[in-house]
Amino acid sequence: MSGRGEYAPSLHLQLIELDEDLKRLKGFVRRADKIAHKRDVLLPKWLPIVEDYLTKEGKQNEDNPIFSYCTVWLFDVGNLSRGIELGLRAIELNQPMVKSIRRQWPGFIADTVFDWAQTQAEKGHSIEPYFGQVFKFVADHWKLPEQVTSKYYKFAGLALLRTKNGEVTPSHVGDLQRLQQADGYLAKAQELHKHAQVKTVRNKIAMRIRALAELNAQ
């Protein structure tokens, strides 16, 4: 299979070729080289097959390791938009996770997007729309370990308190509703996991709310 449109005629043969590609991928020592190979070689080669698979009625409930690997690779190369889209489809279609990853799709998506959001926030960059998109599933749909759900609520609360350079500073927030929403998220984080470590920032929020109340009373 040399390019788009020149696919092996059956999933069985495609999986044999995929296995060869996975062996070649393991030959790369540096993580950056692995990512570049996924982005520049493997995804352009295999993603069209996944897209074709998703358009075929009656085939979508069959296990398809190509689908699973491409979804993971999309996250690996930083294409969160497409990765989340296919990850949610993988959950919907009950596709198995790739064998080398022990987590199931919800846990994998949640952890990967959380790590990305943490890096973005520390740099003062936006974490949306991807954090908010996944947070809704973590909060309302996926049954993940309490510690994972807790860290999402905590991060959502802290995000409402961040300055443009990424620092968490309740004292710069002048919106009472924003402060209350942040405190609500942090309280939920504490409820879910007793070691969430939100007490200090919640005390700072309370101080800021009192300061705003005193200012408005003048």
What's residue 144's pLDDT?
Answer: 97
Tracing tokens 């044999």 back to the chain, one arrives at 16
Which pLDDT band, with edges at 50, 70 and 90, does 7 fall under?
Answer: low
- Predicted TM-score (pTM) of the model is 0.88
What's residue 1's pLDDT?
Answer: 45
Average pLDDT, the chain: 91
**More confident of the two residues 198 and 214:** 198
pLDDT in tens, 49-78: 999 888 876 566 678 899 999 999 999 999
- Alpha helix (H) residue ranges in 93-175: 105-122, 130-140, 146-159
Report the amino acid identity of residue 209.
Answer: I
List the chain domain ranges. Answer: 1-102, 105-218
- Burial of residue 43 (CB within 10 Å: 0-12, 13-18, 19+) is buried
Q: Is residue 129 within 8 Å of residue 172, measured between CB atoms?
A: no
Beta-carbon contacts of 152 under 8 Å, excluding residues fewer than 6 positions away, are: 110, 114, 134, 135, 138, 139
Write the DSSP symbol of residue 7: -
Upstream peptide bond of 65 is cis (omega within 30 degrees of 0): no
- Rounded distance between C-alpha atoms, residue 69 and residue 18, angstroms: 9
Q: What is the mean pLDDT of residues 9-23?
A: 90
pLDDT in tens, 94-125: 999 998 999 999 999 999 999 999 999 988 89
